[in-house]
DNA sequence: CGGGGATTAT
DNA sequence: ATAATCC
């Protein structure tokens, strides 16, 4: 909608191939669902406007911007896809409370104007006494959420919904209740009721199609089904781990912690299509993907260590559910981005990608693919200073690189002449220009993957060749394993105590001071009441399920 | 019949 | 390293 203000007020869908992957809420009023076919969507809403969303660049950009805003409130931000986040705000709440304690009466939280403007709801009863001060603290959490949502709207003009709760499960479920552009608070005592309200177990985060099939085969469908069956019984049917987790979840219990998301662990691109049956077209498409991928890798700034390619083979039985096969190998040092130019050698990258491809697909037999993908995994920080450890490692790479090139003469020269990559990518327009580039560079290339393959095939042993050039990844040292394992569960409390360079003197430096001040506790309007409690309601259970009635 | 990602198991 | 599962 931000990209196409001209469609304001119209039902709008985002199309990828023949799928409407998502839509605005106006379109949803017509019954359009996520991942519905274009056909069906247009049948429900003939005036539906569709925009192509196969290129995720702008979504990735906005996702990063949202993430950066969230990180100004707390470093404890866990990313769930492009538009979904968990924030651990215990330390923010504590600081907010202590900072305002002397001048502030917590009872006024019930009556806050900012919360009213943020379309705050409460799921379940809010008038119960709680031995702990969880009610007060969660109300502060709701204020923080309202402040965050305001910031996101002011800076990005994005609306969003939020759920506020004492654990991730309830927060996620609550966030789904009142959409769009609203937020929902659920107190711990209302957890079981919320879980009852969702009904199907498939709504529990982490329970997808496969788990649901397993449960259904045991006649378990609803949260109440899980509650009824004894734990020992359930463990035998679906395994101890899943059984225990679902038993907890059914009561609104979830002890998993917010795991701060660091840098990406992989950067990849995929393209799906009806069918590709020619090696030349595979090469063309992988080349196009690789060129875009190296751009993304340059933006990231780190050096990729390994390459993985993904293939989905056509499956006559289930057209869409064809499983993916992947092959992965270390990037030989000689095709890391050159230390001098910082550029990738696309030709050699493509040769390596085609080698991986041939490890999946036996091209001596007919094949047809419906998806190709390529990704970089495992990254190393790029060095700057001359004395840094990574700089040292890079220099070693540079030395090896010379040696490797010399051992690579088989692909350094050889022929042109091979009749490949004469395909005209008429199918989808997305990589048209990239394809043209590909053909240009291929003709100036001294070698093609196909000619290379025939070299390999004529040598005695393909396995030998792969041994030499499709290197296994270096194993982690014991120290590295230990280091990566031990940072597994420092509590978030501890993480919140890390010193921030910008405000070293602060008591709780995890909260940015400037940002913090954008979250004023309103002390006026003391007579206002919490939205859902503004009118006294009969003690009718229906009210707990109908928002703000 | 999507395009990213992540985590977990083996 | 690879597959399976999930969002």
pLDDT tens column, A64-100: 999 999 999 999 999 998 899 999 999 888 888 887 7
User: Which class does domain A59-257+519-544 fall in?
Assistant: alpha beta
CA distance A287 to A359: 17
Q: Which token pair is A115?
A: 């919360």
- For the CA of A49 and the C1' of C3, the distance in angstroms is 38
**A171, A165 contact by CB (below 8 A):** yes
- The pLDDT of residue A472: 55
**A337, A303 contact by CB (below 8 A):** yes
Q: Is the CB of A326 under 7 A from strand C?
A: yes
pLDDT per position as a tens digit, A177-198: 998 999 999 999 999 999 999 9
- The pLDDT of residue A284: 93
Domain ranges of chain A: 5-54, 59-257+519-544, 266-469
What count of other Cβ atoms lies within 10 Å of the Cβ of residue A200?
13
pLDDT per position as a tens digit, A390-404: 544 444 443 333 223
Tell me the percentage of chain A whose pLDDT exceeds 90.
46
Judged by C1' against the alpha carbon of A329, the nearest nucleotide is C1
Closest CA to A14 of A62, A72, A59, A67: A59
Return positions of chain C under 7 A from a protein CB: 1-7
Closest CA to A1 of A187, A113, A159, A184: A159
- For the CA of A511 and the C1' of C3, the distance in angstroms is 41
Least confident of A167-176, A278-287, A321-330, A518-527: A518-527
Judged by C1' against the alpha carbon of A206, the nearest nucleotide is C6
Q: What is the DSSP letter of A332?
A: P
Per DSSP, helices labelled H in A133-167 are 134-156
Residues whose CB is less than 8 angstroms from the CB of residue A36 and which lie 6 or more positions away in sequence, other chains included: A19, A20
Q: Is the CB of A517 under 7 A from strand C?
A: no
- For the CA of A299 and the C1' of B5, the distance in angstroms is 17
- For the CA of A173 and the C1' of C7, the distance in angstroms is 14
CA distance A358 to A452: 12
For residue A470, name the pLDDT band (cuts at 50, 70, 90): low
Q: Is the CB of A207 under 7 A from strand C?
A: yes
pLDDT per position as a tens digit, A208-223: 888 998 999 999 999 9
- The pLDDT of residue A70: 94
Judged by C1' against the alpha carbon of A318, the nearest nucleotide is B1
What does the mean pLDDT of chain A come to?
73
Q: Is the CB of A467 under 7 A from strand C?
A: no
**A289, A269 contact by CB (below 8 A):** yes
Judged by C1' against the alpha carbon of A207, the nearest nucleotide is C6
What count of other Cβ atoms lies within 10 Å of the Cβ of residue A503?
16
- The pLDDT of residue A102: 54
Which overall architecture, per CATH, does domain A266-469 show? Answer: 2-Layer Sandwich (3.30)
Judged by C1' against the alpha carbon of A324, the nearest nucleotide is C3
Q: Is the CB of A472 under 7 A from strand C?
A: yes
- The domain A5-54 having CATH identifier 3.40.50.1950: the answer here is no
- For the CA of A112 and the C1' of B3, the distance in angstroms is 41
Q: Which token pair is A534?
A: 């503004």
Which region, left, alpha or beta, applies to residue A393 given φ > 0 means left and ψ of -120 to 50 means alpha? alpha
Task: Give the residues across from A363 on adjacent strands.
Answer: none
Residues whose CB is less than 8 angstroms from the CB of residue A287 and which lie 6 or more positions away in sequence, other chains included: A346, A350, A434, A435, A438, A441, A442
- The pLDDT of residue A105: 52
- For the CA of A240 and the C1' of B4, the distance in angstroms is 32
- For the CA of A125 and the C1' of B2, the distance in angstroms is 41
- The pLDDT of residue A316: 59
**CB-side neighbour CA atoms (13 Å) of A59:** 12
- For the CA of A266 and the C1' of C2, the distance in angstroms is 15
> Average pLDDT of A285-304?
91
CA distance A538 to A529: 17
Q: Which residue is nearest to nucleotide C1 (CA to C1')?
A: A328
Query: SS3 helix, strand, coil % of chain A, rounded to 5?
Result: 45, 15, 40
Q: Which residue is nearest to nucleotide B2 (CA to C1')?
A: A16
Count Cβ atoms within 10 A of the Cβ of residue A173 and give its class: 0-12 exposed, 13-18 middle, 19 or more buried.
Answer: buried
Return positions of chain B under 7 A from a protein CB: 1-7, 9
**A191, A253 contact by CB (below 8 A):** yes
Q: Which residue is nearest to nucleotide B1 (CA to C1')?
A: A320
- For the CA of A373 and the C1' of B4, the distance in angstroms is 11
- The pLDDT of residue A276: 92
- For the CA of A489 and the C1' of B1, the distance in angstroms is 40
- For the CA of A354 and the C1' of B3, the distance in angstroms is 22
């Amino acid at each position: 909608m931000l990209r196409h203000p001209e469609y304001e007020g119209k039902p709008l869908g985002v199309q990828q191939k023949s799928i409407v992957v998502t839509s605005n809420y106006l379109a949803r009023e017509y019954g359009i669902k996520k991942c519905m076919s274009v056909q069906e969507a247009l049948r429900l809403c003939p005036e539906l406007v569709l925009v192509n969303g196969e290129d995720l660049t702008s979504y990735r950009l906005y996702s990063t911007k949202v993430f950066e805003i969230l990180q100004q409130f707390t470093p404890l931000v866990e990313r769930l896809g492009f538009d979904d986040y968990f924030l651990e705000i215990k330390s923010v709440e504590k600081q907010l409370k202590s900072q305002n304690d002397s001048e502030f009466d917590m009872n006024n939280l019930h009556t806050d104007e900012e919360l009213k403007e943020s379309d705050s709801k409460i799921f379940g009863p809010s008038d119960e006494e709680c031995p702990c001060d969880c009610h007060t603290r969660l109300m502060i959490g709701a204020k923080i959420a309202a402040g965050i949502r305001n910031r996101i709207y002011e800076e990005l003009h994005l609306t969003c919904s939020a759920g506020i709760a004492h654990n991730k499960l309830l927060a996620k479920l609550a966030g789904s209740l009142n959409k769009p552009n609203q937020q929902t608070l659920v107190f711990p005592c209302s957890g079981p009721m919320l879980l009852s309200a969702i009904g199907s177990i498939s709504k529990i985060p982490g329970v997808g199609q496969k788990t649901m099939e397993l449960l259904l085969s045991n006649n378990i469908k609803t949260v109440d089904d899980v509650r009824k069956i004894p734990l020992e019984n359930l463990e035998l049917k679906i395994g101890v781990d899943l059984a225990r987790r679902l038993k907890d979840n059914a009561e609104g219990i979830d002890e998993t912690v917010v795991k701060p998301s660091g840098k990406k662990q992989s950067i990849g691109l995929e393209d799906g299509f009806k069918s590709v049956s020619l090696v030349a077209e595979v090469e063309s498409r992988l080349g196009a993907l690789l060129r875009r991928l190296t751009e993304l890798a340059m933006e990231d700034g780190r050096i990729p260590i390994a390459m993985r390619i993904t293939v989905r083979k056509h499956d006559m039985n289930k057209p869409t559910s064809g499983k993916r096969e992947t092959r992965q190998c270390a990037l030989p040092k000689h095709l890391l981005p050159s230390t001098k130019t910082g550029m990738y050698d696309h030709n050699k990258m493509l040769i390596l990608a085609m080698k991986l491809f041939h490890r999946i697909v036996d091209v001596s037999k007919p094949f047809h693919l419906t998806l190709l993908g390529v990704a970089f995994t495992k990254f190393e920080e790029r060095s700057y200073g001359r004395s840094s450890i990574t700089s040292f490692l890079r220099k070693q790479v540079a030395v090896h690189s010379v040696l490797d090139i010399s051992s690579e003469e088989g692909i350094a020269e050889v022929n042109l002449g091979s009749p490949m990559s004469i395909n005209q990518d008429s199918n989808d327009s997305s990589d048209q220009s990239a394809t043209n580039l590909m053909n240009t560079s291929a003709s100036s290339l001294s070698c093609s993957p196909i000619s290379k393959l025939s070299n390999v095939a004529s040598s005695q042993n393909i396995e030998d060749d792969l041994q030499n050039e499709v290197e296994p990844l270096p194993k982690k040292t014991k120290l590295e394993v230990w280091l990566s394992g031990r940072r597994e569960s420092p509590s978030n409390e501890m993480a919140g105590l890390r010193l921030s360079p910008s405000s070293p003197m602060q008591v709780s430096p995890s909260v940015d001071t400037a940002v913090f001040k954008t979250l004023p506790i309103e002390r006026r309007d003391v007579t206002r009441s919490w939205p859902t409690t503004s009118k006294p309601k009969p003690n009718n259970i229906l009210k707990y399920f109908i928002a703000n009635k």
